[in-house]
Structure 1
Amino acid sequence: MIKAITGTKDILPEEIYRWRELEKIVIDTFRNYNYREIRTPIFEETKLFARGIGESTDIVSKEMYTFLDRSGTSITLKPEMTASVVRALIEHSLYKKQSLNKFFYISPMFRQERPQAGRLRQFHQFGAEAIGSNSPYLDAEMIIIAYSILKKLGLRNLTVKINSLGIPQSRENYKKILRDYLNKHFNNLSNESKKRFESNILRIFDSKEEQDQKIMANAPLLIEYLDDESLEHFENVKKALLKAQVPFEIDAKLVRGLDYYTHTTFEITSASVGAQSALCGGGRYNGLSKELEGPDLPGVGFAAGIERILLACENEKTLNIEEEKIDLFIVTLEKDLNDFAFNLAYRLRELNVSVELDYLDRSLKAQMREANKLNSRFTLIVGGEEFKNNLLVLKDMSNGQQINVPADDINKLISYIKVK
């Protein structure tokens, strides 16, 4: 038997209605904040992500699905969306048409990670990017939107963590201080952190190794060395969140290791999904557009993992919506009435009534079982003495009540179905 590749998952019909409900909440929320949807290709040139995410990151160095196409170009299945959105903005000169561009997306991503609960190799994210303004209120808006969506999904065990990375100059000054501290402990760092010491020193804060965590517990913190401009920006973000009644805590070890990240960084975690607790994360990336050979435009955004959020919903028993019901199941009592039933179903469907009928020539009992299985609101029985008298029997499946409806009066039939 050929099976789905390890780390991928089929989303089956009985699950899809939960995805649709989540997507509806996402789309409606972004519409309220005037974000427009963008869709980019599923693969890009590898150099986009090498430059847009950073060659020293785990994503680029270990996790990307990269291959050569027939022309010899190195292609990568997109592991994240921010670089693709910024590339699209630059390529199509969207910044010339509008000073501030606000985008949202819902898209599959690909990373060759070790599969575990809430972490797949093909996974899905929704997120947003706002490019063109350095306003701290946009930083706050991103956090508010992400938190709002998660709350609308019914999630309760949420923690919003925020931090500031400041401007590049103050961060470079801080790196010297951090390097001086770590020099004293260098021999005790893990091999991975020793590599990061040279290439991406802030990422040592992300280490899961116990020896690294003990060392970093007493490390000087970036937030203690921020300049006045950065502190003012961060204060305005915090004030905006307080006014929006978004609870948050400051996590001074929450970092992004690349130079074009600036100011706010944030993460929202859940206590309902185990070790992989982060549901979404984001921050400001004022240097990314310039890094990708575009104009020097400030940007801020976030991304949220859909599978992980749905796992949290399942564990907290939220998003308990009913499966979709069809309006009508047409039951035929004789084979020679299949043509009538098929044509009636077509006419009803064209009038936005959801209809199913029997294609397997089953018995009345089997057809009624199928109607129940499909959660049909009504059944319409075609045949018998009633049909000889130009009547159809409409049965309300919620209470078993039946009425006769003229076989040639489709409007009357619809009026009964829609009354429900």
Structure 2
Amino acid sequence: MANSLCSDNGGTIVNAASICGRQGWPIREPDIIVTTPAALLNHVDVDRRRRMEFMRGVKYVVFDEADMLLCGSFQNKVIRLIQLLRYDEKLLSRSKTPVSELATKLEESSLSTDDALDLEGEDELPPEAISDEDDDDKEDIVIINDEAESVKKTRREWRRVRKHYERSKQYVFVAATLPVNGKKTAGALLKHMFSDAEWVSGNYLHRHNPRLKQRWIEVSVDTQVKELINAVNHGLESEDLDTDGGIHRTMVFANTVEAAEAVAKILNYTGLECLRYHKNCTLEERAQTLVDFHEKGGVLVCTDAAARGVDIPNVLHVIQADFATSAVDFLHRIGRTARAGQNGLVTSMYTESNRELVQAVRQAGELGLPVETAFSRKRSFRNKLKKKEIQQPLKRVFQLERTQGRCTKVRKWHRCSNITYIDS
């Protein structure tokens, strides 16, 4: 998209390149690099000179889907990347301003030496993040402050003022959902790392679009397949939805790859052709799937891999064959429809195990409140789900013992183990 931007005379405005998967480092330095945190770190860690040149040239850093990048397996890599960029800011600030001048500014700000030392460890880099620059760091300090009486004194002054460096890069974090309840949430982490950040939010933060029409269907194991087929047909036959040139697009979400494959087989068996989109599909297959879905429409069976970052216009119907495991995932799924001023329909199928989460989400919607109160319930809902999954098989085991009238030995239950029956 960046490369497609042109000026009035037809010339390209910016030059963009992507670094991900098999794509290597661009030969010519582009204006914009689009990448994943892991891929970028893998490339800059190979060559120290490349890392220094790259970090010095970066002026703007944009983190899309910030709530995902600052949680889970992405978090450590993103934090390390931010720390590397901040370290370059400090080096650049130090090269422009003598340490003695910064120390004077520190004293004028009425911050005592003890307070400065207390702040010292809050913004430290991990050893692996700064090990390559340590030697240069020491040399720079000696060169900059020629008037200092000793290297030891210079370092001590810099330790006092390194929290007061000139910012030379701008960080932008973008997310449709950014929970702040809890110390480990993405919002809380940003407030800690960027205490002076400016927060900008839209009117529908943590709320669903008012143009959405929602249907809620509670299902059981016996009725789930029937209701799924009825939901797909209901969207295809609905007259309330305006199609894009006669093309109808429906997205069906499942929680796992196995569930998505099972849903696809069920729909194909009933004569409803569908496309698949999940992590087990190759990048080429996923790209072609999106092209086909955009051009031809139809039914796209997917996991949450398609809930973020996939902008397909005029998706008319979103079906949750498996209800989302959290309010965050729920908002991202239903956000695939009713975009850019269009209307949309969402059909949510849920079972007894996630009834409480559904009630919390529905209550927030009915009251016109954000569903942020349901964010902190993610762990508790999962624990309840696991507890019910454990209790149900055990209950059947005990019933089996009574009905068969014989001794049954049950292996000790663990969270991820299976129950085995051994006749005595």
TM, length-normalised to structure 1:
0.21
| Greater helix proportion | 2
The structure, 1 or 2, with the larger RCO (C-alpha pairs under 8 Å, 6+ apart) is: 1
Name the structure where strand makes up a greater proportion of residues: 1
